[in-house]
Amino acid sequence: QVQLAESGGGLVQAGESLRLSCAASRSGFSINTMGWYRQAPGKQRELVASITNGDTTNYANSVKGRFTISRDNAKNTLYLQMNSLKPEDTAVYYCNLKIMSWSSVLDDYWGQGTQVTVSS
């Protein structure tokens, strides 16, 4: 079992920045992908950004150039630096950890979410 704890959400005005953090209770998985998802009211949950243990990153087109995902293995922590925030970024943001096998996902862990609200 892995516990994920998000923090850093809040209320900001458009154009401002936030940094989200996700602390994992353990690490050491040989193959894993961590990511940030978000879900706005009335919409499906979507992938915002992901990063593999090989440091390959992927971003949704809507956040490219504005958000940066990173991980600090020493602290077992995932980050999402969110710059130039827009009202459409308003959502609950969830941290995710996928433990991978050779060809499939073995485990899929989620945090409880942190609210990000961007006013216009």
- Kindly report, residue by residue over 29-68, the tens digit of the pLDDT: 778 999 999 999 999 999 999 999 889 999 999 999 999 9
Terminal Cα-to-Cα distance of the chain (whole angstroms): 40
Digit-coded pLDDT (tens) for 83-103: 999 999 999 999 999 998 888
β strands within the chain, DSSP E: 4-7, 10-13, 18-24, 32-39, 46-52, 57-59, 67-72, 77-82, 91-100, 105-110, 114-119
